[in-house]
Amino acid sequence: MNKQALRICILGGGFSGLYTALRLSQFPWTDGHSPEIILIDQNDHFLFTPLLYELITGEMQSWEIAPYFEELLTNTRIRFHQGCVTAINIETKHIELDNLHSLSYDKLVLAMGGKAPLEQVLGSNNYGISFRSLQDVYHIKERLRLLEVAQAKKIRIAVVGGGCSGVELACKLADHLGKIGRIRLVERGKKIVSNSPEFNFKAVQDALEKRKVWIDLETEVSEITRDSLSLCYKGRIDTIPVDLVIFTVGTQMLDWIKDLPLKHSEQGLITVNPELQVIDHPEIYALGDLADCKDATGQQIPRTAQTAFQQSDYCAWNLWASITRRPLLPFRYQVLGELLVLGINNATFNGLGIELDGPLAYLTRRLIYLYRLPTFKHQLSVGLSWMIRPLVEALSD
């Protein structure tokens, strides 16, 4: 009787989960019997979130940044299972899904990310929109379409969160709406993009000023209604008219993740060792937004897409190494720089000793992200689309 293959379940098809699965499927298995690799996600598609902004302006199409898992995983060793994880039994090593499926595992990778913390603001669940998914973008575009059809003289949008995502979205919205757009950026801290290098910060300031984006610092949202926004600044509340409120702030842990009998940080993140294994549970790995991680040098690792890219390689190696009895590698985070898109055909880049802004930075960003797309086949399809589209548009004009 053949021995049943060892099963690796990867929960979450974002950067951490999908790229771990793809890398893991490429490793050689000396005994000729590769493990069963199952990727589980509630959606049927991957989402390349750094390019999500381009859907707002129509610079890219949804298939380019959100390819289906079935297409990406064709001719790989990976099996995709669509479903929403509702619980994990750590003792019996079973995963419960919302479609009444139950899966056992030998090795487990937790890479589900989190959710937008909308319930923290009164009215935000009903009138606020997060910016995390294709559905969010479709919702935003439909709201904008209705406002444009109604021939609104002004379209007033508040973007809550003055980090990288907030300023990138604000610039894209400003370019998309043009003169009728009234964009307001709301930040609770004393500075926008507070962790960005000075070169990028200056480029952000210039881009927002050029697009006449209003910035509210040290300001919090206290309430949202259908057509108004209440802002609290130093104890004083002002209520202003608004057509659309979009949240780009932080990530909140999924409730069932918090309840897992694993070691958590004070923020509720799952604590891992430098090898990305959950403390006291070496068969479980945690990556990305839900992991509290310090690398081999002891530095606290930021929860960004750049981190997820890098963690996936280490996680795949350590899974393979743990099965084939090779030494595990402690994660070493490399700061590769920061790329921000600041409107149409405009970006800023600071990293690897290089500082770029404007159209050249925009092109650099495009090429870097093209290389980062998940499979060579998809990279080729998207690259050809980018080259052909300007020609088609020129001929149609």
Backbone angles phi, psi at 348, to 5 degrees: -140, 145
What mean pLDDT comes out for the span 296-308? 89
What mean pLDDT comes out for the span 166-177? 97
Average pLDDT, the chain: 91
Give the integer Cα–Cα distance in Å for 211 and 253.
34
Q: What is the pLDDT of residue 101?
A: 79
- The DSSP code sequence of 110-177 is E----B--GGGSBTHHHHEEESSSHHHHHHHHHHHHHHHHTT-S-EEEEEE--SHHHHHHHHHHHHHH
160 — alpha (psi -120 to 50), left (phi > 0) or beta? beta
What mean pLDDT comes out for the span 212-241? 93
Query: Which class is domain 7-42+83-115+252-324?
Result: alpha beta
3-state secondary structure of 324: helix
| Residue-wise pLDDT tens digits, 81-120 | 999 998 899 999 999 998 767 899 999 999 997 777 777 7
Band of residue 205 on the pLDDT scale cut at 50, 70, 90: very high
Q: What is the pLDDT of residue 249?
A: 83
Q: What is the pLDDT of residue 304?
A: 87
Band of residue 312 on the pLDDT scale cut at 50, 70, 90: very high
Q: Are 130 and 118 in contact (CB under 8 A)?
A: yes
Q: What is the pLDDT of residue 3?
A: 63
| Residue-wise pLDDT tens digits, 31-73 | 666 899 999 999 999 999 999 999 999 999 999 999 999 999 9
The topology under which CATH files domain 118-247 is FAD/NAD(P)-binding domain (3.50.50)
What mean pLDDT comes out for the span 116-125? 78
Helices (H), ranges, the chain: 15-24, 53-57, 62-65, 69-72, 124-127, 134-149, 164-177, 198-210, 255-258, 305-324, 359-372, 376-396
| Residue-wise pLDDT tens digits, 357-396 | 999 999 999 999 999 999 999 999 999 999 988 777 767 6
Question: Same topology for domains 7-42+83-115+252-324 and 118-247, yes or no?
Answer: yes
Q: What is the pLDDT of residue 1?
A: 36
Which of 362, 365, 359, 315 is closest to 336 using CA atoms? Answer: 365
| Residue-wise pLDDT tens digits, 279-291 | 999 999 999 989 9
Give the integer Cα–Cα distance in Å for 160 and 216.
10
Helices (H), ranges, 327-374: 359-372
Q: What is the pLDDT of residue 48?
A: 96
| Residue-wise pLDDT tens digits, 240-267 | 999 999 999 877 777 788 889 999 888 8
The first and second tokens of residue 335, run together, are: 């700061």
Place of tokens 């610079």: 59
Higher pLDDT, residue 1 or 85: 85
Question: What is this structure's pTM?
Answer: 0.91
Please report, for the chain, the start and end positions of each structural domain, with discontinuous segments joined by +: 7-42+83-115+252-324, 118-247, 338-396
Looking at the chain, the whole-number percentage of residues with pLDDT higher than 70 is 97
Q: What is the pLDDT of residue 245?
A: 95
Q: What is the pLDDT of residue 346?
A: 96
